[in-house]
C-alpha cells in the first residue's frame, strides 16, 4: 500500500505493473518464492537490475523541484520539452539549458511543498506525473499553487525527464 496525500492506494491502482517475474497468471509460489515472499531452498536469485519504481522516481523529481536542484532533475535527459507560465512551449532543450530556464523561472520563489498527486504508466516505457506546487514569492506572504506535469521515459532501469509543464 502507498500513502498519497492522505489516501491509501495499492500500486496496481496507481497503474504500476506487476513486478518482474510475477505475471498476472503466475503465482508467487511458482516463481521460486514462498507465499510469504521468502526464497525457497534450491532457487537462484535473479541478479539483473530491477527497474526503478515510478513512485520513487516521481517523488525524487518532486523533491528536486522543491529544492530547486534542477541540474539533478534534468541530469539524465537528452532533450526536455519545457512549458512554463508566460512563455511558449520550447523545442527540446539540452539539460544545461533546461536547468538554466527552470532556475530563472523559480528563482524568486520559496517552495512550501511539491507533492506527487498522480503517477501513472502510459505504456511500458512512458509515464506521467502530476505534482502540486505550493510556494510564496520572496517578500510576500501570499501562497500560490501551480500544477506540474512531468513526462518520464523508462530507460534501462531508471526514469528520465522528457517533458515538464507548469500550469497555474
What mean pLDDT comes out for the span 125-152? 97
State the pLDDT confidence band at 76, using cuts at 50, 70 and 90.
confident
| Residues 78, 72: Cα–Cα separation, whole Å | 13
Mean of all residue pLDDT scores within the chain: 78
Interval 7-56: pLDDT, tens: 333 333 334 443 333 332 222 333 343 444 433 444 444 444 667 899 99
Mention every residue, 6+ apart, whose C-beta is less than 8 A from residue 52. 154, 157, 158, 159
Closest CA to 132 of 83, 85, 66, 60: 66
How far from 67 is each of 100, 113, 115, CA to CA, in Å? 15, 9, 12
The predicted structure's pLDDT at residue 30: 37
Pick the range with the lowest mean pLDDT from 38-47, 52-61, 87-96, 120-129. 38-47
Amino acid at each position: 500500500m502507498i500513502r498519497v496525500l492522505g489516501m491509501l492506494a495499492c500500486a496496481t491502482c496507481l497503474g504500476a505493473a506487476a513486478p518482474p517475474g510475477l505475471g498476472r497468471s503466475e503465482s508467487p509460489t511458482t516463481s521460486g518464492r514462498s507465499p510469504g515472499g521468502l526464497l525457497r531452498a534450491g532457487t537462484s536469485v535473479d541478479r539483473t537490475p530491477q527497474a526503478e519504481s515510478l513512485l520513487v522516481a516521481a517523488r525524487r523529481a518532486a523533491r528536486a523541484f522543491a529544492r530547486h536542484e534542477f541540474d539533478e532533475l534534468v541530469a539524465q535527459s537528452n532533450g526536455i520539452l519545457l512549458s512554463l507560465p508566460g512563455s511558449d512551449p520550447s523545442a527540446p532543450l539540452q539539460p544545461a539549458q533546461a536547468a538554466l530556464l527552470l532556475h530563472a523561472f523559480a528563482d524568486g520563489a520559496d517552495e512550501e511543498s511539491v507533492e506527487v498527486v498522480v503517477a501513472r504508466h502510459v505504456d511500458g516505457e512512458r509515464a506521467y506525473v502530476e505534482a502540486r506546487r505550493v510556494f510564496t514569492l520572496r517578500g510576500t506572504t501570499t501562497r500560490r499553487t501551480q500544477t506540474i506535469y512531468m513526462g518520464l521515459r523508462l530507460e534501462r532501469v531508471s526514469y528520465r525527464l522528457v517533458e515538464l509543464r507548469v500550469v497555474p
